[in-house]
Amino acid sequence: MVKEMTNEEAWKFEEDCGTFKDYKSVSEYIEDIVTCLVYSTWHYTEDRARKRAEQEADYIKRCYSEKCPAADCAVDVGYQCG
């Protein structure tokens, strides 16, 4: 479950996700991506953010292995054109 945050907390969280963290697992990385999507300007619901993460699981795993910041990966996962 995504932690409820103030706008200031969400801003700080996304800023912190701008660099790759020392994640214990890809699951922690996915949680950061989901949280980024929920607090993004797209305002994903948590359910929709998790569904997008599932749909893009292979891409997310590749980003994780390449140590791509979660915020950057979230942009690629969250932006859907068309």
pLDDT tens readout for residues 14-36: 999 999 999 999 999 999 999 99
Contact yes or no for 77/53 (Cβ under 8 A): yes
d(CA 53, CA 20) in angstroms, rounded, equals 18
- Provide the pLDDT for residue 80: 75
Residues 46-75 have pLDDT tens digits of: 999 999 999 999 999 999 999 999 999 999
Contact yes or no for 64/26 (Cβ under 8 A): yes
What Å distances lie between residue 10 and 6, 41, 54, 56, 80, CA to CA?
6, 11, 23, 23, 22
User: What are the structure tokens assigned to 46, written together?
Assistant: 């948590």
Compute the half-sphere exposure of residue 47: CA atoms within 13 Å on the CB side of its CA: 0
